Structures are given as C-alpha cells and as structure tokens.
Chain A
Amino acid sequence: MSKPTDLVQGTLDLLILKILALEPMHGWAIAQRIRQMSNEVLQVGQSALYPALHKLEQQGLIEAEWKVSENNRRAKYYSLTSTGRRAMAKEADQWERLSAAISLIVRTI
C-alpha cells in the first residue's frame, strides 16, 4: 500500500476538492474514489485523509452534514462550498501550470 507521504501535502487537498466537486461524499468513499480514479496508484490512508478533511472544513472550503449512507448507517458527508469551488478552480489551474512546466523540463533533458 502506498504511504500517504507519497502524496505531497497540499496535493491531497486538491484531490479531495476535485472529488467532492462531483457529489457530496463521506470519508471512506473519498478514499475509495481516489484509489479507483488513479487506477489504484494513489492510496490515501485515513491518517492523512481525516486531518485533511477537518482542515478544509475549518478553512470553509468544504462543509459537512450527517446523513444516512447507502448501507443504512449514519455517516458524515462532505460537500464543496462556493468558496471551495472557487479555490479548487484556482488550485487546479496552478497545478496544471506546475506539472506542465515540470514535464517540459523532464522531457527536454
């Protein structure tokens, strides 16, 4: 299993925001979704996931609500706030630029 350190801090935030942009989700589902969408490359342990979620909530980028889950249990569902949506667009943009720049260098040399 890939260690959370593989996911550099800050990048996880972006991934969470991106995933929540689709629909409200609880912690477990977010972890599963990241794993699936990255073709099993990225695995987020809960030791990294939950602090990140709580931090984003404190920053007002996401909000939480208790709902009944698909398996009939109470679960905490996170969703994106409008501030979060704005932040996500900005971070995604920045990420695109950064990674493009890095791949440019990596490929050229």
Chain B
Amino acid sequence: MGAALGRHLADRADHIGDCEMSDKLKLLRLRLRSLFKPKQVEQELDEELQYHLQCQIDEGLAAGLSQEEARYAALRALGAITQNKEECRTMRRVTWIEDLGKDLRYGARTLRKNPAFTLVALLALALGIGANTAMFSVVYGMLFRPLPFADADRVAVVCLNYAQRDYIFGTMCIRDYLVWKQNNHAFEDPCLYRNQRMDIGGPEATPEQVVGSVVTANFFSTLGVRPLLGRTFVPGEDRPNTPSLVVLSETIWRRRFAAERTVLGRTIILNGASATVIGVMPEAIRFPRAETQLWTNLPLVPPTRYGPWFYRGLARLKSGVTLEQAQTETNNIGQLMAQQNPYYKRARMPVVTVRDALLGTTVKPAILVMTGAVGLVLLIAVVNVANLLLARATVREREVALRLSLGAGRGRVVRQLLTESVLLAGIGGMAGLALAWGAIKLIRVWNPGDLPLIDFVRLDWGALGFMAFASMLAGILFGLVPALESSRADLSLTIKEGGRTGGGSLARGRARNALVVAEIAISLTLLIGAGLLLRSFLNLQRVNGGFFAPPEQILTMRISPGDPKYDDEHTGLAFYAEVLRLARSVPGVEMAAVTNSLPPNRQGDADSFGLEGQTLGPGEMNPVVTVATVGPDFLQVLGIPLIKGRYFTDYDNEKAPPVTLVSDGFVRRFFPDGKALGKHVKYGDRWMEIVGVVGNVKYLSLSTDTDPAYYMPFAQNYFPPAFLTIRSSGDAGLLAARLRNEIQSIDAGVTLADIDTLEQALDGAVSQPRFNTMLLGLFAGIALVLAAVGIYGLMAYSVAQRKHEIGVRMALGAARADVVRMMVRQGLSLAALGIVLGLGGAFALTRLLKTMLFGIGVTDGLTFAAAPLGMLLVVLLATSLPALRATRISPAVALRSD
C-alpha cells in the first residue's frame, strides 16, 4: 500500500501543470536554478547536511559526551555522506530534460534498428518538407521580401486599360499622362516611363543591345533610390530639347565600363546619338524590369495625337492617401478620358503596387497553386508516415504494454513515442533543407521564362525557421495519433495474447483505413490538377501560329544599324538591302527577308487606321490592331498563306503607290461583305490600297485570340531596327555564326540581338506553362508514389495479419482466386471512397487553375475521367501484389505461424 501511495506521489513528479498557479513560478525558478547554477545548489546541499551534523553533535554534547566522541557518534549516525548526497542530487534532477535525452537516444536506436521503415519515412518527409521549404523561400522572396525602394508600398504603377485593348495592366500615351497629371490629387508628382531596347555603343566595347527605360526626370526620386555614383535626373531634364543623359546600372557599368569612376561625364553612343553618363545605380535597383540596364531621360514633347501607347505611370502616394482612394480617383479620371475620347470605352486606370507590376499577372496565381500543391504533398507525406507508424504500433504493442505495466504513465509513453517521431521529422527536415537548397539553385539557374524577382529568392534564416517549424509540426501530427493509439493498449489483453504479434485493435484498423483513403483522395486531387495543366500545355503546343514553314529551318535576329545616318530612309534601305544580299550569299540560306514583327509574340507595332468610305464621329477611332512592316519574301519565308490577291514584291518600294496586305481576320471584322481587295486603308495620313489577303498570324502570344493585322512594305514604311529572317535548307541554328560575321562586316556600329530559330522562340513562348506543368506533375507524381506505398503497406500488413485466417480459409477449400478477390476488394473499397473524395476536392480546388488553363475548362471531362482510372490502376497494382503473396501461404504453415 505504501508502494501504491509512493507511486501516486512519484507520478506527479514532472507535472508542473498539477501545481497551483502561485506555485508554478516558484517551481520553474527552482528547476532553472538546478539546471543553470549547479555549483550554488551543490554548496547549499553541503551546508544543509553540515547543519544536520552540527545538531547531532550538539545532541551528543548535551548528553555528556566529549567533543571528540560526539563528533564521531554523529558521523556514524549519518552514514555514508557521499552516497546520501548523490541521492539528494537524483531527487533534484530536472527529469524532463533527462528524459528527453534518454528518449532521443532510445528513438535513434529504434530508428536505426528499422532501416526500411526509417528510409521510407525519411524519404517521404524530406520530399514533403523540402518542397515546402523551397516554396516558402519562393513565396517569401517574391511576395514579401522588402523591395529596395524607400517605402515601396507607397509607390504604384498606374496604367490605362480600355475595352479594345488588353495588355497586362494596360499602357497609356503622353496625352493620357497629361490628363492624369492635371486631375491628380492622390499622388505626388506622377512620372512616366517606357521600356525600350537600346543600342549602346562607344569606344569601350563592341556595340550591343540592352533593355533600357526612358523616364521622366522625377522617376528616381519617386522610387526613392540613390545612385551608387554620380547623380540622377533633376527636375526639368525631361523638357523637349534636353540633351540625352544616361544613368547606368551597376551591372553594365562593371561589365562594359570596367567599373571605372571616370565613366561619369563620358559621352557614349545611345541609339546612334551621343548621350552623357551622369550616374550609376546600385545592382539591387532593377526597375521597371529585372533586366533593365540603363535609364535615359524622356523629353515630354507635346503630343499632336493619341498614341503611341507604350508608356506607364509611376507615382508615390501622398501621405494619408490609401491605394484604394487613389484607385477611385484614377477610375474617375479614366471616365473623364472616355468622355473626351469615345474610343476609350470603359477606360480604367489600374493602380498596382510596384511589386505587382514587377510580378505581372501570371506569377501570383501560379505561386498560389504551387504552394497549395506542396502543402498537399507534405500532408500526404505526414499521412503516409502516420500510417507506417500505426503499422509499427502494432508490432510495438508489447513493448508499450510492458512499459505501462512497469508503472510508466500514459503521458510518459506518449511523450517518448512523440520524441521519436519529432526526431524522425527533424532528420527528414534536414534532408529536406538540402533538397530545398538544390531546388532553389535549380530554379535560379533554370529561371523559366524570366521569373521576376527570382534574385530575391534564397534560403535564409527565415527558411531555416520555417523548416524547423514544419518538421516539428509534421512530427507531432504524424506521431500523435499512433502514440495515443499505442498508449491505450489494453494491458491484460496484450499480455494474455502472449507471443502473438498484434491483434490490432479495431479502432487502429479504422484509423489506418482512413489515412489510406485520405492519401488516395489528396493524390487524386493533385493528379487531376497536373492533368489539367498537361492538357492545357499540349493544347498550347498544338496552337498554330499561322505560319507553315518548319520552325527549325527559320532563323531570326534583330539587326540595328547603329549609326544615326541609317535613320535616313534612303541610307537605311540600302543598309538592309546589303544585309539581305550578304545573307543570301551564305550557303544553306534559301530565302531571306526583313520584318519588324515575328510570331509567336513579337508584335512590332500596333496602331489604329482609317477605312475608305467609313465616316467616324468626332473623337471616334477604329481599334488598335497589329501593324507589321515586312519586306518582300517575308510571308513566303514563314509560309504564311496567301488567300487572295498577291504578296509584296520588290516593286512595292518608296517610289511606288502605297499598298497594304490585310489578314483574313481583318477582312472578316471590317469588311463584312468580304470584298477587301482594291479598297483603301489609311495609316497616319497615307492611304494604301489593299493588294492581298493573307492568313491570320499570332503576333501577340499563342494563348490570346488572333489580333486582326495589316501589313505594310518595309520600303514604304522604313523604321529601324528590324529583324532579319532567313529560311535554310537544314538546321537554321548552324548558320547563326556565319551570318553574324557577314552582317557585322557592313558597319562597326551594327548590333545583333535575339539570334534564335523560330523553334527556340516557340519553345520560349511556352516555357512558363511547361514549368508549371512539370512542377505540378512532379508534385502529383510524388503524391502518387507515396499513396501507392501507403496502400501497399496497408495491404501487406493486412495480409500478414490475416495469415492465420487465410490459412484456415484455404484449408477449408477456398480457391486462390477467392482469396485474392477478398483482399483486392478490401483495397478497392478504400480506393473507391478515396476517389470520390478526391474528385470532390479536385472539383473544389481546380478553379484556382482557371487563369493558367488554355483551351480546356477547369472540369475537363477527359482529365476527370482519366485521373481516377489511373489512380485505380495504381491501387489495383499496390493491392494485388500483397494479395497474390497471400495465396502462396501454405495452410499448414499459416496455421502454425502463431
């Protein structure tokens, strides 16, 4: 009975939680002292025992003993002092820390002893945690890491969006900017900018083309950034007739100007004209585009007409004004613009943060979907490990029962099992961290379709913290249910069962079934998501750009003559004629032509137009459509079909009457009677005769509807730079080097850029969808494998458990087929439930994919039918292997097996 009482007291040993509030703090202090001030505690113990000894001596003296005798008697009564002290120390120990060490050692030993289990679990966890850690870094880096601009949240990009045209966020022209500026109250002094390819030349190095930005004078002060060297633009430097000034990026300053400080004040050649370098921006400042290499001042020449629409606004909110208030104001300004110009139907002026402008519209939804997907992968990994642990719980039943019967509290057992699972998750997390590191490296190198803000993605302390948190959470999640299950072991039952391995409680069986159902459901959801992206990607790849020449036989390059003398039509045309002559002289080149537009996404120009016999109301105008300026042979090089009339020829030159070709879509939209040939179209103030109708070509992107287009002869609308396009008899890529040499020999100022085959261009156009598809496919694949392992494990375990039963059945004459059918039925019923739930989940979740899909709906029938079938097949395979093994059981052996 004393023992019972003793254990009752001992049981409360670690439970600070049992104490009353007022005592908790005291106790905590006491324990911390034992942990961190062991010397002082030890000294006090000495003093306490010394006091006891002294009292004993006093007692002896009082009884009449001599000092010597009293001391000797006291020491004898005290017994072995050292041993006694040790006992006191034991009592003082902070047991949970001790226990933790013990549990960790024990856990590590258990994991080592079950290498197969440990390996499978670690692999699942490493994949799950690694994918999530990588994704965390991406999400944090792209969406949350502070931008290098002062108060970046207060700076917004302002665009113009109207019914006819739908660029990303939209663009405006100088006239719109002036209207906005006049009516603006929400922002500090608004500025205007435009991205542009520029030729940079000079004595330093060979001329090259870079992405630059033309900006108003207040651009940098609005961003709130300071130059690394020199100065930025000052007010007034955007007035007409201001000399050209350049601010270089640190990147190009280091690469092209060898990081010389003397670059300030130097004159360089920009687009053939001289410009003075006034400053250098630090590398971190990458705006408006990640690849922007220089900024030059924009002369605000008063506009005479609407267009061209290449500009966007940039402005800082006045203090106290919110983004929403600014949006309300700009919407009103948009309405005002629509009143002034009916062409701006439903004009809006979207106000987006700098970050959103950098990210564009496609990245955020993709990040959201991928984050959800990796979350599901982790969940499935957790479920899988929980399942493995449950299976093992049965094996460990006797160990746990033994502990319980030896007096361990249930809490203590749960804690020990949880320590083990958190340890497992911790190791998995470390491996995951390595995976994440590799994945981020890979994404940065690969950088599918120039992902914006990718430089901001890195593995840092935040990611490490996230990994630790995710591991901890995962460990507790997958460990808790099995731990609670195990510790509930019915002592008498387990011990009575003797040597027999695990009856496996009914509840535990149900828990395992539920986990497998969850695995199937989650992986099916992912599988359907991946299937949808795959179908959409295939659709995109099947899109015909409108040209029929083999894309690998077409080579294109942007050629800029460099020197401003070529701006003159006569000299310029002679230059490009020479380019064509040299190109045709290269062996392997079959045809060559110049153009300012190329499929699938390099629209050279877009503008409105006038139509013969059409009367427009005041302020009314025809839609802005693609305008392609092409030389003779261009349509033949690409194999764009002629539907009516004729192609351009060498005779359609500057001296001949102006002519134009229109696309089939143009005819359908603007000539409902189909009679376009011989009619006239006005570009600017020049009327051109329609001499032919050609097939529709995609110049904007593969996934948007084909824009109507009209074509003008290069010789009648000369404007450099232009693309050279050649068709070769074989692989066009092989001709690139030779062509480059030939063309650069014409003039030292010539720059060549974007040298690609059309095949590469098409490939690049689908790189982002392909990346998304591969990523989601990878996640779905991992999920599927994990689910397959899960169901295989369950069935194998179930077979092992029912060995005895199967033996009996077979001994009583059951056929092998019956046994297999019985086992498979069990697996399939779980699969059916999982599939139903997974279909539901997919139905609810795939709408998130909506903006990423092309050519199919979010509930695409084929995908929703094929994915479950595939899932069923996997389940069938995972089930039948163990089931077949069951039939090989010899009844005699099975019956004896326990």
Determine whether B759 belongs to the interface, using a CB cutoff of 8 Å to chain A.
Answer: no
Contact residue among A10, A46, A66 (Cβ-Cβ distance under 8 Å from B3):
A10
Contact residue among B26, B80, B91 (Cβ-Cβ distance under 8 Å from A81):
B26
Q: B19 to chain A: closest CB distance in Å?
A: 4
Given the known inter-chain contacts A10-B8, A58-B13, A60-B26, please indicate yes or no for A73 contacting B2, CB distance below 8 A.
no
Q: Which residues of B contact A (CB under 8 A)?
A: 1-9, 12-13, 16, 18-20, 22-24, 26-27, 30-31, 44, 47-49, 51-52, 54-56, 58, 77-80, 83-84, 87-88, 90-93
B18 near A83: Cβ-Cβ < 8 Å: yes
Q: A90 to chain B: closest CB distance in Å?
A: 9
B87 near A47: Cβ-Cβ < 8 Å: yes
B26 near A46: Cβ-Cβ < 8 Å: no
Determine whether A2 belongs to the interface, using a CB cutoff of 8 Å to chain B.
Answer: no
Q: A85 to chain B: closest CB distance in Å?
A: 9
Cβ contacts A to B, 6 pairs, < 8 Å: A9-B3, A58-B92, A66-B44, A74-B51, A75-B51, A81-B26
Q: How far is the CA of A8 from the CA of B864 in the complex (A)?
A: 72
At the interface, is chain A mostly helix, strand, loop or mixed?
A: helix
| B2 partner residues in chain A, CB cutoff 8 A | 8-11
Q: Which residues of A contact B (CB under 8 A)?
A: 1, 8-11, 13-14, 26-28, 45-47, 50-52, 54-55, 57-60, 63, 66, 69, 71, 73-76, 81-83, 86-87, 91, 94-95, 98, 102
A60 near B3: Cβ-Cβ < 8 Å: no
| A10 partner residues in chain B, CB cutoff 8 A | 2-9
Contact residue among A50, A59, A66, A75 (Cβ-Cβ distance under 8 Å from B88):
A50
B58 near A71: Cβ-Cβ < 8 Å: yes
B31 near A58: Cβ-Cβ < 8 Å: yes
Q: For the A-B complex with A8-B1, A28-B56, A45-B79 known, give 15 more contacts whose Cβ atoms are closer than 8 Å.
A: A9-B2, A10-B5, A46-B79, A47-B79, A47-B87, A50-B49, A51-B88, A51-B91, A58-B31, A59-B12, A60-B26, A69-B51, A76-B44, A76-B51, A94-B5
A55 near B91: Cβ-Cβ < 8 Å: yes
| B56 partner residues in chain A, CB cutoff 8 A | 28
| A63 partner residues in chain B, CB cutoff 8 A | 23, 26, 30
At the interface, is chain B mostly helix, strand, loop or mixed?
A: helix
A-B contact count (CB 8 A): 121
| A83 partner residues in chain B, CB cutoff 8 A | 18-20, 23
A46 near B52: Cβ-Cβ < 8 Å: yes
Q: B146 to chain A: closest CB distance in Å?
A: 47
Q: How far is the CA of A36 from the CA of B454 in the complex (A)?
A: 81
B9 near A86: Cβ-Cβ < 8 Å: no
B48 near A8: Cβ-Cβ < 8 Å: no
Given the known inter-chain contacts A76-B48, A83-B19, please indicate yes or no for A28 contacting B78, CB distance below 8 A.
no
Q: How far is the CA of A95 from the CA of B87 in the complex (A)?
A: 26
A26 near B5: Cβ-Cβ < 8 Å: no
| B26 partner residues in chain A, CB cutoff 8 A | 60, 63, 81
B88 near A8: Cβ-Cβ < 8 Å: no
Given the known inter-chain contacts A54-B88, A59-B13, please indicate yes or no for A9 contacting B6, CB distance below 8 A.
yes
Q: How far is the CA of A50 from the CA of B58 in the complex (A)?
A: 20
B27, closest chain A residue (CB): A60
Q: How far is the CA of A47 from the CA of B56 in the complex (A)?
A: 14
Contact residue among B4, B30, B49, B83 (Cβ-Cβ distance under 8 Å from A58):
B30
Q: How far is the CA of A28 from the CA of B55 in the complex (A)?
A: 7
Q: How far is the CA of A46 from the CA of B79 in the complex (A)?
A: 8
Q: B679 to chain A: closest CB distance in Å?
A: 98
B78, closest chain A residue (CB): A46
B6, closest chain A residue (CB): A10
Contact residue among B5, B52, B77 (Cβ-Cβ distance under 8 Å from A14):
B5
Given the known inter-chain contacts A10-B3, A10-B6, please indicate yes or no for A51 contacting B52, CB distance below 8 A.
no
A50 near B84: Cβ-Cβ < 8 Å: yes
Given the known inter-chain contacts A50-B84, A51-B91, please indicate yes or no for A13 contacting B9, CB distance below 8 A.
yes
7 closest A-B pairs by CB = A8-B2, A10-B6, A10-B5, A54-B91, A55-B91, A28-B55, A51-B87
Q: B30 to chain A: closest CB distance in Å?
A: 7
